[in-house]
Structure 1
Amino acid sequence: MATIRVFPQPWAARAAAKREDTLNKIRAEWRLSTTDLVKAEKQRDLTGPFIQQFLHDDEISIISKDSVQLVEDIKNAKLTAVQVTSAFCKTAAIAHQINNCLHEIFFDQALERAAWLDDQFSKNQSTVGPLHGLPISLKDQLHVKGVDTTMGYIGWIGRNFGSDPEQAHKIESQINTELLSLGAVLYCKTSLPQTLLFGETKNNLVGETLNPNNQNLSAGGSSGGEGALQALRGSTLGLGTDIGGSVRIPAAFNGIYSLKPTPERLSYRAVANNNPGENTYRSTIGILSTSLGGLNLLLQADLSCKPWLKDPSVVPIPFREDVLKEYEARANPDGTANGTIPLKFGVLWTDGVVQPHPPITRGLNMVVEAIRSAGHKIVDWNPPAQEVGRAIHLAFLKADGAYDIHSQLNLSGEPLIPDLRKSFKLREPMNLLKYQDLTLQGLKYEADYSDYWNSTAEQDGQIVDAVIMPVAPHAAVIPGKYYHTGYTQVINLLNYSVVVIPVTKADRLIDTVDSSYEPLNDLDRMNWEAYDPEMYDGGPVGLQIIARKFEEEKVLSIAKIVVSAMETSKAGAKGTVTREGNQIARGA
């Protein structure tokens, strides 16, 4: 007979109590009225003016700055850590009330920390470290002492390390310890989907996190709360994780930047995870930011802690300033080629399985035009079939038959959310011999992809420096219609280094339906028929720039050149001035 488990409290009641407890941690003066909450529900775009109506001018000034400027202003005594932390705590509090993007709030702890940092600065006339006073948000996989880590599971409420009650609230992730040593302020943990293995952010704890730019759309996943919070300027810098696109998808969907390093570049020690024993293709700590400078700031700062000394899985590679400068030297500050060797880019327009929607194709064309106009090289990218790599990677994600997922659900009796019931139905785990064969298939695919990359030097003697491709076949997606994650998953199989940059937004007047397109297959048809210019209007479009393993500094430098080239191109597209001084428009 099957054992019937009796739980001390129904899972839904536990979830409701947790939500109420979280709201009660928001200061009374930061709580919104029922009228404001109803207004937010009906508002399409929550960013910019909408959320700013709840803030004072000095707070808007602070949250409008990016990470590098904030640490400089604190270092130069233009701002205090308390001023900055208070502004971001208040904005995050409002963001959560209108957007459902937080799992954990510890603002009081953060403000105490900020006051201590200000006191240290006053006494020593110097900062504690390169992140002194900078608020950093965290995906709810990272453990903070004294704070829950639920990872979206109801059974984890009251704990911060899975099911061991002896360790509850005593564990701190190594990378958090490093951030604190560098002067950072930790203040909140952001929402993620049940299981982590989902391109949207939904769970039984807080419900769904929608896209602040367009509430018809999803914030993405699995670091969706991070993406949404940053879109609302409740954070300029945060940590997420990525095993199938989980920092890249939210960045692209929310109009921000992200860095997915190769696994083992940053410490994953004492970080919660789905099926943590699957380490053939590991999840990686990733960074999300409102600026490229923020990505660089955190990577460089954290590597200065030499994380490999405490986490033996981290490869001992310090931050390589020389690599950064080597690639920056190949272009002028405006992104144009400077007479040395121009950069060479591969462009993947489609993976041959699911055709990108019109906004994505337009975004690709915008970037390609900017790069080409800047004097750099563009070639089409036709690697080994990406669907092969995606299928191998997906098999690894499901190798345990969803045993770990159901073990966590069974702690409270909560069900799988409807979106995941089919994908993660309990199955027999993959047997060892099949797993080993799958590993060999993965290694072969990596080798074939590498061989193709090397072959790009055959025509002109120059190898491709980086590849540009979609993050997804659509802009920030309509909930329930994310059918194909192949554009990100294959990069996890390859363990490549990736930066995501925002490019544009879907525009119903420009990105019209191409009624002549004939879908390649049923999956392609589903995706193509899901495109609705009105629904997608205003949805952010981001693209990924890809380098090879452990090339984080290289890809950050190249991304900076691409962004500069795009800014130059946009400035030129606004018009030229005739001899009479009249502006001639060149189009949108």
Structure 2
Amino acid sequence: MDSESEAKANTWSSKAAAKRASTLAKIYPEWRLAPEDIRRASTQRNLTGSFIQQFIAADDAAILSMDSVSVVDAIKQGRLTSLQVTTAFCKAAAVAHQIGNCLHEIFFDEALERAKQLDEYYNKNGTTVGPLHGLPVSLKDQFHVRGQDTTAGYVGWIGSNAGIKDPSQAHQVQSQIATELLSLGAVLYCKTSVPQTLFFIETKNNIIGQTLNPNNQNLSCGGSSGGEGALLALRGSTIGVGTDIGGSVRIPAAFNGVFGIKPTPERFSYRDVAITNPGQTAYKMNIGFLSTSIDGIGLVLKSVLSTKPWLRDPAVVPIPFRQEIVDEYLGRAHDDGTAKQGRTPFKLGVLWTDGVVGPHPPITRSLRMVIDAIRNAGHKVVNWEPPSHRTAKSIHLSIITADGAEDVHKHLNLSGEPMIPELDTRGMRLRPPMGLLKFQDLTRQGLELEEQYLNYWNSTADDDGQIVDAVIMPVAPHAAVIPGKYYHIDYTEALNLMNYSAMVIPVTKADKDLDPFDHGYRPLNTKDEKNWKAYDPDIYDGGPVGVQIVARKFEEEKVWAIAKVVHAALKANEPQSNLKEEGFVVPVHARL
């Protein structure tokens, strides 16, 4: 390394080290763990549940055990104060970061002051500010909060805001979604870790290093909203705001055992949010949400849409929350998910495999659990064999990286930091941008594939007159993945080309006894073989598994309601689904 390169390395690495120290310094001394506790955490397989609870006082643990709706109800009824709730979640986030390395920004001082103001308002007026009054909400480190850094994983943006139009306005800009959350009474208190560039399905950068999976530290927490998923898994938040352009909400939700939704682009405001390659608008990044409960997802959808975001962002389509759609779909089933007599049962498709990379045993078992629950509840299930997801992913990826990684390298060059090795081999090396005619041709191909997918979906009514309501499919071909072994993102990214609404629900966890390696499996191709050989039942044991439930464009209310019914049916079916006791192993390529 020459002297100039060494000086640059010292500069960026020193800046990153100072940022790490600054973040830790914002944790109050009484909330800091002993060095031996942090070392012990690094040797644990599972940081969730009893491990993190040992560092949480009983009163705080009682609050942290509640989900979003219960929290806001307790505050509204005067059983809890905003300050009590905010203090508990700030403590939990502080512990989560010390053992799980999941935060970029901490602003507990501002959060606690905000909570006090909300309590004063409640005491004076006898009512709440809004439907999220006193609820702590965490944010992926793409969202600007006035007075705070936004790095989006880039060292060069430490001390500023990533990607703002006017650098002189550093720390003055606030994302519209953050302002909307505050107007609803939410408390913002931390921002979570992301991968460098935001274009990576794991969470790793040169600022804080890597965020692993709290459920099993042999595995990844996913990306790019990985810090959100990890924080929720550790109960340091009940609702988090993320983004998704290829699976970045759905993957962390599934990998961390929580709920997540990827709405259609333009349903929620992306105004003043940091993004890589902001000029690419053919396939936009989505605002999405993660939660510890399915009702938490419903709460945040309804609440944010009540602010009418289209009045402040011209890119947002003016569609208010449609309660009548929720009522229509929930009205077709009982609370336990069973179909109501005299009402049309759901007709759901199931994609067992995309035919390119077959799912590992835990994924196929989870699909079978969901399908058995749906059928036992009286709903219909059909096989789903749509147009090629591989083609959809190829078109989408080519378009969203059409600038030749110019924007990425512009941000890297601000500090001279190197690209993390995992990205240096994944198409992020600087290259000439795509030509306009090729870009336009790819856009045409994308539109044609959307039409083919639409035609296929409509054709599902040909046999019985009923169109498929939604589709169940894997989020990935594996449970929360071994770092460095995520080879196939088509299960999520293909849906970004269609701009479909998609909801993730947790189903189960990988189990070394239930999910043995199938030595008789014959890989479909070299990529499938690579993925299959990466499966190790012992390492994956305990890794969360979720599935995604997919509806069409602007069907967020519908997909949420169907997911609620499916999840209820899954829960009601649990006693009959104890496959471990039955010694039942589901074949890898199950069919209906």
What range describes the TM-score normalised by the shorter chain of this pair?
A: over 0.9
Task: Indicate the residue corresponding to 1:398 in structure 2.
Answer: 401
For structure 2, list consecutive stretches of 5 or more residues without a partner in the other structure.
585-592
Task: Indicate the residue corresponding to 2:514 in structure 1.
Answer: 510
Taking the aligned partners of 1:348 and 1:215, their CA distance within structure 2 comes to 29
Task: Indicate the residue corresponding to 1:366 in structure 2.
Answer: 369
Equivalent of 2:211, from 209, 212, 231? 209
Taking the aligned partners of 1:522 and 1:198, their CA distance within structure 2 comes to 22
| Paired amino acid for 1:82 | L
Taking the aligned partners of 1:366 and 1:573, their CA distance within structure 2 comes to 7
Equivalent of 2:563, from 548, 559, 563? 559
Task: Indicate the residue corresponding to 1:346 in structure 2.
Answer: 349
Task: Indicate the residue corresponding to 1:582 in structure 2.
Answer: none
Task: Indicate the residue corresponding to 2:587 in structure 1.
Answer: none
Instruction: State whether residues 160 and 169 of structure 1, in contact with CA within 8 Å, keep that contact through their aligned partners in structure 2.
Output: yes
Cα 1:65/1:113, change in 2 over 3 Å: same
Taking only the aligned residue pairs, the percentage that are identical comes to 64
Instruction: State whether residues 152 and 162 of structure 2, in contact with CA within 8 Å, keep that contact through their aligned partners in structure 1.
Output: no
Taking the aligned partners of 1:353 and 1:347, their CA distance within structure 2 comes to 16
Cα 1:573/1:220, change in 2 over 3 Å: closer
| Structure-1-length-normalised TM-score | 0.96
| Paired amino acid for 1:424 | M
Which secondary structure does the structure 2 equivalent of 1:350 belong to?
A: coil
Q: CA deviation at 1:141?
A: 0.2
Q: State how 1:299-310 maps to structure 2 within 5 Å.
A: 299-310=301-312
| Paired amino acid for 1:233 | R
| Structure-2-length-normalised TM-score | 0.96
| Paired amino acid for 2:270 | Y
Task: Indicate the residue corresponding to 1:463 in structure 2.
Answer: 467
Q: CA deviation at 1:9?
A: 6.3
| Paired amino acid for 1:210 | L
Q: CA deviation at 1:179?
A: 0.5
Taking the aligned partners of 1:53 and 1:446, their CA distance within structure 2 comes to 50
Instruction: State whether residues 129 and 183 of structure 1, in contact with CA within 8 Å, keep that contact through their aligned partners in structure 2.
Output: yes
Q: CA deviation at 1:332?
A: 1.0
Q: CA deviation at 1:586?
A: 6.4
| Paired amino acid for 1:443 | L
Taking the aligned partners of 1:518 and 1:544, their CA distance within structure 2 comes to 26
Map Cα deviations across residues 435-478 of structure 1 (whole Å, 9 max, x no partner).
00000000000000000000000001000000000000000000
Task: Indicate the residue corresponding to 2:251 in structure 1.
Answer: 249
Task: Indicate the residue corresponding to 1:327 in structure 2.
Answer: 329
Taking the aligned partners of 2:73 and 2:575, their CA distance within structure 1 comes to 28
Which secondary structure does the structure 2 equivalent of 1:50 belong to?
A: helix
| Paired amino acid for 1:171 | V
Taking the aligned partners of 1:320 and 1:431, their CA distance within structure 2 comes to 42
Instruction: State whether residues 219 and 482 of structure 2, in contact with CA within 8 Å, keep that contact through their aligned partners in structure 1.
Output: yes
Q: State how 1:110-125 maps to structure 2 within 5 Å.
A: 110-125=111-126
| Paired amino acid for 2:93 | A
Taking the aligned partners of 1:22 and 1:238, their CA distance within structure 2 comes to 19
| Paired amino acid for 1:179 | L
Taking the aligned partners of 1:358 and 1:22, their CA distance within structure 2 comes to 40
Instruction: State whether residues 153 and 409 of structure 1, in contact with CA within 8 Å, keep that contact through their aligned partners in structure 2.
Output: yes
Task: Indicate the residue corresponding to 2:181 in structure 1.
Answer: 179
Equivalent of 2:267, from 265, 272, 278? 265
Runs of 4+ in 1 over 2 A off after TM superposition: 4-9, 161-165, 571-575, 585-588
Instruction: State whether residues 46 and 212 of structure 1, in contact with CA within 8 Å, keep that contact through their aligned partners in structure 2.
Output: yes
Task: Indicate the residue corresponding to 1:442 in structure 2.
Answer: 446
Instruction: State whether residues 40 and 46 of structure 1, in contact with CA within 8 Å, keep that contact through their aligned partners in structure 2.
Output: yes
Q: CA deviation at 1:162?
A: 2.7
Task: Indicate the residue corresponding to 1:46 in structure 2.
Answer: 47
Task: Indicate the residue corresponding to 1:578 in structure 2.
Answer: none
Instruction: State whether residues 155 and 412 of structure 1, in contact with CA within 8 Å, keep that contact through their aligned partners in structure 2.
Output: yes
For structure 1, list consecutive stretches of 5 or more residues without a partner in the other structure.
576-584
Map Cα deviations across residues 199-232 of structure 1 (whole Å, 9 max, x no partner).
1000001100000000000000000000000000
Q: CA deviation at 1:567?
A: 1.0
Taking the aligned partners of 2:538 and 2:578, their CA distance within structure 1 comes to 26
1:496 aligns with 2:500: yes
Q: State how 1:500-579 maps to structure 2 within 5 Å.
A: 500-573=504-577
Superposition RMSD on alpha carbons, in Å?
A: 1.4
Taking the aligned partners of 1:171 and 1:7, their CA distance within structure 2 comes to 29
Task: Indicate the residue corresponding to 2:423 in structure 1.
Answer: 420
Q: State how 1:149-164 maps to structure 2 within 5 Å.
A: 149-162=150-163, 164=166
Q: State how 1:93-104 maps to structure 2 within 5 Å.
A: 93-104=94-105
Which secondary structure does the structure 2 equivalent of 1:10 belong to?
A: helix
Which secondary structure does the structure 2 equivalent of 1:296 belong to?
A: helix
Instruction: State whether residues 466 and 547 of structure 1, in contact with CA within 8 Å, keep that contact through their aligned partners in structure 2.
Output: yes
Equivalent of 2:379, from 366, 376, 384? 376
| Paired amino acid for 1:106 | F
Task: Indicate the residue corresponding to 1:286 in structure 2.
Answer: 288
Map Cα deviations across residues 88-113 of structure 1 (whole Å, 9 max, x no partner).
00000000010110000000100000
Which secondary structure does the structure 1 equivalent of 2:573 belong to?
A: helix
Task: Indicate the residue corresponding to 2:148 in structure 1.
Answer: 147
| Paired amino acid for 2:378 | G
Q: CA deviation at 1:7?
A: 5.8
Equivalent of 2:480, from 476, 491, 494? 476
| Paired amino acid for 2:249 | V
Q: CA deviation at 1:385?
A: 1.1
Cα 1:587/1:481, change in 2 over 3 Å: closer
Instruction: State whether residues 573 and 587 of structure 1, in contact with CA within 8 Å, keep that contact through their aligned partners in structure 2.
Output: no
Task: Indicate the residue corresponding to 1:128 in structure 2.
Answer: 129
Taking the aligned partners of 1:102 and 1:82, their CA distance within structure 2 comes to 21
| Paired amino acid for 2:563 | A
Cα 1:480/1:424, change in 2 over 3 Å: same
| Paired amino acid for 2:91 | K
Instruction: State whether residues 514 and 583 of structure 2, in contact with CA within 8 Å, keep that contact through their aligned partners in structure 1.
Output: no
Map Cα deviations across residues 24-83 of structure 1 (whole Å, 9 max, x no partner).
000000111111011000000000100000011111100110000000000001100000
Taking the aligned partners of 2:202 and 2:77, their CA distance within structure 1 comes to 40
Taking the aligned partners of 1:382 and 1:9, their CA distance within structure 2 comes to 53
Task: Indicate the residue corresponding to 2:590 in structure 1.
Answer: none
Which secondary structure does the structure 1 equivalent of 2:242 belong to?
A: strand
Q: CA deviation at 1:571?
A: 3.7
Task: Indicate the residue corresponding to 2:338 in structure 1.
Answer: 336
Taking the aligned partners of 2:217 and 2:582, their CA distance within structure 1 comes to 32
Taking the aligned partners of 2:578 and 2:289, their CA distance within structure 1 comes to 33
Taking the aligned partners of 2:287 and 2:559, their CA distance within structure 1 comes to 16
Cα 1:207/1:383, change in 2 over 3 Å: same
Taking the aligned partners of 2:449 and 2:578, their CA distance within structure 1 comes to 44
Q: CA deviation at 1:397?
A: 2.0
Taking the aligned partners of 1:175 and 1:298, their CA distance within structure 2 comes to 11
Instruction: State whether residues 9 and 416 of structure 2, in contact with CA within 8 Å, keep that contact through their aligned partners in structure 1.
Output: no
Taking the aligned partners of 1:465 and 1:162, their CA distance within structure 2 comes to 40
Which secondary structure does the structure 1 equivalent of 2:272 belong to?
A: coil
Taking the aligned partners of 1:520 and 1:398, their CA distance within structure 2 comes to 28
